[in-house]
Amino acid sequence: MSRDEVADVAVSVGLGALAGFCVLTLCVSGDGGPLFTDGGLHAWSVAHRPDVAVSLARGLTATGTGPLPYALAVLAGIVAVRPPRHRLLAAGLAVLCLASGQAVRYGVMTLVARARPSRADWRTHASGWAFPSGHTTTAALAAGLLVLAICLRGPRGRTLFASAVGCWGVLVGLTRVYLGVHWFTDVAGGWLLSVGWLGLWVCAMAWWLPDRFLTGPANTPIESTEDHAPQDPGRGGRSHPA
């Protein structure tokens, strides 16, 4: 795909996801209660929580915050860019994408001020308002950055690596519902916001970054002037005196 095609696809996906996020935000901004399948999924989670599953979910949900998502963003920048001298800047752009997405999420969370499910159903620590889920947004943004980098420049077997990273990003969000600290629509909001934000960033990078940022300057071989020097026909093609 050309750069213009990548930008067109990215902005279309991004704006579509953000439109869905805005609609969902308006829905949860009413009374703040459970919507759609929220109540059913919450009730199922509360009724199916053996100790082993809760421990695994706590361990997985803990990876959706703290230094790990930022480490994955840095890795995404390093993987996506070929020239070594550009990798530091690429890592910085990936971290900026993640941090700015978190800032947008925090702003929406503060404005919507949606209450979480009952504290009696919690099986892990949580703070702040519910919508959109912070762990979900952070993990999805970090996973999306790394998946894009793997697909762009990954080694053989990239499908397996990208699938594993994508599953991690999705599962972190689901653990928030399973542990009782978020409604499912909080998690869906985090996914939509992440896809929309990534789409806008990919579009911006496709428009503004020069080709050499990803691939480096073209390697133009220097041809030997001796090999292509004019030959004297009278010398039988030899370039030195007979």
Domains and CATH numbers, the chain: 3-32+51-116+127-213 (1.20.144)
Please report the pLDDT score of residue 49 as a whole number. 96
* Beta carbons of 161 and 14 less than 8 angstroms apart: no
pTM of the entire predicted model: 0.84
Residue pointed to by tokens 């133009």: 220
Please report the pLDDT score of residue 212 as a whole number. 61
pLDDT tens readout for residues 117-171: 999 999 999 999 999 999 999 999 999 999 999 988 766 778 899 999 999 999 9
pLDDT tens readout for residues 16-38: 999 999 999 999 987 778 888 99
pLDDT tens readout for residues 97-124: 999 999 999 999 999 999 999 999 999 9
**What are the C-alpha distances in Å from 63 to residues 11, 76, 113, 139, 176?**
29, 17, 25, 8, 12
Please report the pLDDT score of residue 82 as a whole number. 76
* Longest CA pairwise span in the chain (Å): 100
Give the span between the Cα atoms of 107 and 98, in whole angstroms. Answer: 14
> Which residues, 6 or more positions from 2, have their beta carbon under 8 angstroms from its beta carbon?
none
Give the span between the Cα atoms of 79 and 76, in whole angstroms. Answer: 5
Q: Look up residue 54 and give its amino acid.
A: V
